Amino acid sequence: MAHVMLRQAAGPGERSSTAVIVDKLTKKFSVPGGESQFTVLDSMSLSVDEGKFVSIVGPSGCGKSTLLNVVAGIETYDGGLVTLAQKTAAPPRIGYVFQSPRLLNWLTVEDNIHFVLEAQNVPRERWRGLVAKHLDMVGLAGQEKNYPLNLSGGMQQRVAIARALAIEPDILLMDEPFSHLDAITARKLRFDIADILARAKPTILFVTHDLAEAVFLSDRIYMMTTKPARIFKQVPVDMPRPRKPEDSAIFDLEKTLVREFFSVVEAKA
């Protein structure tokens, strides 16, 4: 059982470095009650360059969330090597946006953010500024003292995004963050997130089953299939930003990928 490792990042002279390297990652789960195991992730490899937005697209149940949990360091793995670049003396900070907001409903919006700042040992005198900056970034300035249950689902997810960004993460992990929202709210938030991340500039590993979303947001897309999970294609997306989802180049790429994706996934089913 291995754990995510740290590796010295490239020196300041180099133009870019790789923030996350997943090399032949294999993860098995044991079947409850039985001796047998099944393979969730089978010799999976990918890398995320610093400051880039990388998406992993795959059907549900293909082990995408497991991959994020391994990178986050909350799950171990059985084979291969997962390393994160370490730029300073401290290990890289990891922000996580889950499918559902996972806010602490008994705490105000600002206290929800304080919670992770305290967890990450951010000095108390910086809290006020960090909260204000990131709530403003997600369009929730003035909601500091409000409680999560007073906010709509979309706004709650914005708080979750502000929470993940407030710790100024080196790596931001996002697990289908828009999949629980209605189409209109999701579309609005997708627009905003592209803009927010252009300013905050963390390295992003983003998991989704929505190819349109992936094409719109990503610098690179890894396409996964299931049983066992493996990557069957990687696609660079070299379109200029800011992008528009209606842009024909984006639309064309999406169409091509959808066709390819379903030809592979459905052949398995």
The residues that touch other proteins, with contacts defined as CB under 8 A, are 72, 74, 94-96, 98, 100, 102, 104-108, 115-116, 118-120, 147, 149-150, 167
Find the shortest distance in angstroms from Cβ 105 to other proteins. Answer: 7
Nearest 5°: phi and psi at 251? -60, -45
What is the closest distance, in whole angstroms, from the C-beta atom of residue 180 to other proteins in the complex?
12
Q: Which CB, 94 or 235, lies closer to other proteins?
A: 94
Measured from the CB atom, the residue of 72 and 239 that comes closer to other proteins is 72
* DSSP sequence for 172-220: EEEESTTTTS-HHHHHHHHHHHHHHHHHH--EEEEEES-HHHHHHH-SE
Q: Which is nearer to other proteins, 118 or 195 (CB)?
A: 118
- Report the side by side order of strands in the sheet with 220-225: 94-97, 171-175, 203-208, 53-57, 220-225, 230-236
Choose between 45 and 120: whose C-beta lies nearer to other proteins: 120
Minimum distance from residue 107 beta carbon to other proteins (Å): 7
Whichever of 59 and 95 has its CB closer to other proteins, that residue is 95
Q: How far is the CB of 138 from other proteins (least distance, A)?
A: 17
Please state, in angstroms and rounded to a whole number, the distance separating the CA atoms of residues 157 and 223: 25
- We find the least distance from the C-beta atom of residue 218 to other proteins, in angstroms, to be 22
> Whole-number minimum distance, CB 149 to other proteins, in Å?
5
Cα-Cα-Cα-Cα torsion 205, 206, 212, 218, nearest 10 degrees, comes to -20
Rounded to an integer, what distance in angstroms lies between the CA atom of residue 117 and that of residue 139?
20
CA–chain centroid gap for 96, Å, is 7
Secondary structure string (H, E, C) spanning 55-98: EEECCCCCCHHHHHHHHHCCCCECEEEEEEEECCCCCCCEEEEC
Q: Which is nearer to other proteins, 5 or 74 (CB)?
A: 74
